Structure 1
Amino acid sequence: MKKLKYLLLLVIPLFFSMLSGCSKLSLSTTKKSYSADGLVAVVKGKADNYKKLTYTVNGETKKVAVDGGHFAISVPVSENDQNVRIKAVNGNKTETKLVKVKKAKALEDYLTFAQSYNYTLLSLGQQNDQLQLISKNGIMTHEKNDGTKWYYNVQNNRLMGIATKLSYKELKSKTGQKNFATDLMIISKLLGADGKKVLKDFAKQTKNADKNSTKTSMDQITSKGVNYNINLTTKDFYMYITKY
C-alpha cells in the first residue's frame, strides 16, 4: 500500500505537468516580414491556448480572428514599412510577435486621381458615380450605379492600389463587358497606362483561361509601369492594379 501511495505521488504531478505542457500558450508567424499581395500583405500564423489575441499596427489595435488555431491578418500596404505587433494573452502569461509589412510603391496622389476621375465621368454623363475626394487611410469601396464595385487602398492621401471583382456571368454579358472595359480604360488612362493594350491582353488571357479550368491566376499584364494581376475562382475573377 505504501508503495502504491509512493507511486501515485510520483505519477500524479507528472500527469498534471504533462497536461499543463499541452495547454501552453503559444504564438508563431510563418515569416518575419511580409510583402504586398494585391492591396494588402497577409500576415499568417498560429496561436494556441490564448484568452485574448490582438494585433496593433499604426497605433490601432484590433482583435485577430482564428480558425482552427490559424490566423491571417490583412494589412493594407503603404509607402512605408509597417510594424505589426501580435499579442496573445492567457491570464498572467503573454506571448508577443513583431513582424514587418514591407513598403510598396504608390500609383499616384489620390486627390489628383480622384479629381481627374470625377471630371472624366462628368464628361461621360456619369455625375452620380463620383469618387470622394478625401479618404481615410484604408481600403475604400466605391460602388457605381451599374452595381460594379472598385476598391481603393489609400494611405496618407497616396493611392497604393485599385481592385475589382466580377463574376464570370457579368463578364460574359454585353453590358458587363462594356461597363468593365469602360472603367478599365478610364483608370488605365489616368494612371498613364495603355488601356487598349491591357484590354487586348486581358481578352486573350481570358479566352485561354476558359480552356484551362484549373488555373487560379493569369500572367501579369504590365503597361508603362502599371501592373495588372488577376486571380481566378470558380465563380469570380479579381483584378489588382498596382505599381508593385
Structure 2
Amino acid sequence: MTERWEKERASWILARAGHRARARRRGEKLMVAARRHDRYEVGAGDASFGEVTTRNAFHRSVMREEGAANIAGWFCLTVLSVIVLAVLVGPALLASRIAYGTWWAMVPKWGPMFSPPYLGLAALLGGIAWLALGRLSLEGFEGFLVQFGAVQVVLGVAWAAWLVRANGWAAVARRQKQSGSKVERVSIEIPVVGSVEPVVVGAPQSAPAEPEASQEKTPEAAPTAPNIEPIEIEFGIDDVEHVNATQ
C-alpha cells in the first residue's frame, strides 16, 4: 500500500476543525484510513467493529429536527439545493475531483501534493480561455455554453487547490521542510594517552596492518625422546635375608 501520510494529515485537520462538521468528517475519514493502513502493514486484516465518523452533509441537513414532517420537509429542501448546486457548479465540482484525484494517484511518482501548481494552472487556463473567447466572439446559446464550460474548468482547477489544503497536505509539506535540514558531520580530535597521533572521532580509522608472513618457513624441529637415566637400587645382606624370610 502506498504511503500518503493519512495520520499526519488527519491530525492536522482535526486540530483545526473546531466546530466545523465537514472538517471533522474529513479528518476522521483520514484517521480511519491510517488505522486501516497500519493493520495492513502488520497483517491484522480489517477491524471487527465499524469505525464511527461524523455524518455526511446530506444526512446532517435532513436530520436537523425530529418528527416525520420536519424530516420530510428538510429532505425536499436538501434535494432541491443539491439540484441547484449541481446545475450551477456541478461541472466545476467534477473537474476539481478529477484534477485532485490525478495527482493523488501519482503521489508515489510526483511526491506530496501542493496548492500552488493548481493555482498556477487555473491562472494559465483562465488566460487562455479569455484570449480564445475574445477571438472566437461566439454569440447566443453556443457562446454561453462555451463560456460556461471554460468558467467551470478554471473554477474546478482552483477548487482542487482548496481540496489540497482541506485534506491536510500542508502538514506533509511542513514535515518535509523540518526534516529536510541536514546536520553536518563534526570531527573532534581527542588525544589518547600513550599514542602519538590524535584520534579523530567521526572519521574512519584504518585497521592496523598485519605483519606479512615470511615466505620462507623454518623447518620444525623433530621431537626428541626424553633422556631418562637408569636408577640403581642397592640391597644389603639384611635386606636379602628379610626377603627370603617373607617368601
TM-score interval (norm. to shorter)? under 0.3
Task: Answer with 1 or 2: which has the greater Rg.
Answer: 2
TM-score, with structure 2 as normaliser: 0.23
TM-score, with structure 1 as normaliser: 0.23
Which of structures 1 and 2 has the larger relative contact order (alpha carbons within 8 angstroms, sep 6+)? 2
Higher-strand-fraction structure: 1
Higher-helix-fraction structure: 2
